[in-house]
Amino acid sequence: MKTAFITGITGQDGAYLAKFLLEKGYRVIGLVPRRSTSNLWRLEYLQIADDVEWKEGDLLDLSSLTRAIKAAKPDEVYNLAAQSFVGSSWEQPILTAQVTGMGVLHVLEAIRETDPGIRMYQASSSELYGLIQEPQQSEKTPFYPRSPYAVSKLFGYWMTKNYRESFHMYTCNGILFNHESPLRGPEFVTRKVTQAVARIATQKQKELRLGNIHAKRDWGFAGDFVEAMWLMLQQQKPEDYVIATGKTTTVEEMCKVAFDYVGLNYLDYLVIDPDLYRPAEVDVLLGNPAKAKRELGWSPKTTWEELIHMMVEADLQRMGK
């Protein structure tokens, strides 16, 4: 039986990945930082909260992280923990740099100290591309990060690559484009929209306030994307991979599809709020997942329209409808 150690296990991807690995027969151990209230709702939603083991620790505290990894003796480490909301990274840039950037180095050091043979996945991001240099972004496209979050992820990306080249460690960057699900945090735009649609349809909310609705994103389903994380750690040699759907859509179009699902016209509810515009925007992202398809045999199964319908449906269920 293989053992996987997941940081960020209480987040969206952590929950789906834990479920995926448990179904593969893995022993799954999660790093959980101390919080004043329990944060296990996603694992409970997927009915796996009792099937994972826990180690208390924080990405900012190298000693707790090293102790946890030494005790877990994992074959694979998935580093998903981060301050992951781009918007908050302008409000808390230093914390973001510490967790999302330096945190990666802590994980690499903890592995190097424990057993450099442990394989490691780093949750890199399409936000690295930022101000895009090419219309469709691949592993070869240059980076131009546009937020403290993206700059922090860039540090993590290069550290992951550097430890691979310096110490011959099996470390991979998954450059994942946006992926969503019913377990997405409500601050991200897809879930903000699907939750609003469900609340408006049940007369609990009157309007939906958004910022830049012209931004375009390549949206996939988190449940599909976690398989690619695992596949990256099962290869002969470690490499970096873009994981995306290869389709891009505006926030406005996504909004229309969500409202259409319940028979409402989004134009009757949408309010543009200039306060929700970001100091620097990533206007368009469109990934090229050809390498992942060719080398990992991975391709997405869910279209963005199916994803948005799934999310509205889940939010309607939560509203008791």
Catalytic residue among 149, 157, 261, 266: 149
Residues 39-68 that bind ligand GDR (CB under 6 A): none
Span near ligand GDR by CB under 6 A; candidates 28-36, 59-67, 205-213, 300-308: 205-213
Contact code string over 121-140 relative to ligand GDR, x by CB under 6 A: ----xxx-------------
**Judged by CB under 6 A, how many residues of this single chain contact ligand NDP?**
26
Q: How many CB atoms lie within 10 A of CB 101?
A: 21
Catalytic residue among 84, 125, 126, 152: 125
Say whether 149 is catalytic. Answer: yes
251 binds ligand GDR (CB under 6 A): yes
33 binds ligand NDP (CB under 6 A): yes
Q: Which is nearer to ligand NDP, 10 or 248 (CB)?
A: 10
Say whether 157 is catalytic. Answer: no
Quote the DSSP letter at residue 101: I
Q: Taking CB within 5 to 8 Å according to partner kind, which of ligand GDR, ligand NDP, none is near residue 138?
A: none
Q: Which is nearer to ligand GDR, 118 or 183 (CB)?
A: 183
Q: Taking CB within 5 to 8 Å according to partner kind, which of ligand GDR, ligand NDP, none is near residue 211?
A: ligand GDR
Annotate 29-82 with three-state secondary structure.
EEEECCCCCCCCHHHHHCCCCCCCEEEECCCCCHHHHHHHHHHHCCCEEEECCC
List of residues contacting ligand NDP (CB under 6 A): 7-8, 10-14, 31, 33, 35, 39, 58-60, 80-84, 99, 123, 125, 176, 178-179, 185
Catalytic (active-site) positions: 125, 127, 149
List of residues contacting ligand GDR (CB under 6 A): 84, 86-87, 125-127, 177-178, 187-189, 192, 210-213, 215, 217, 251, 276, 278, 281-282
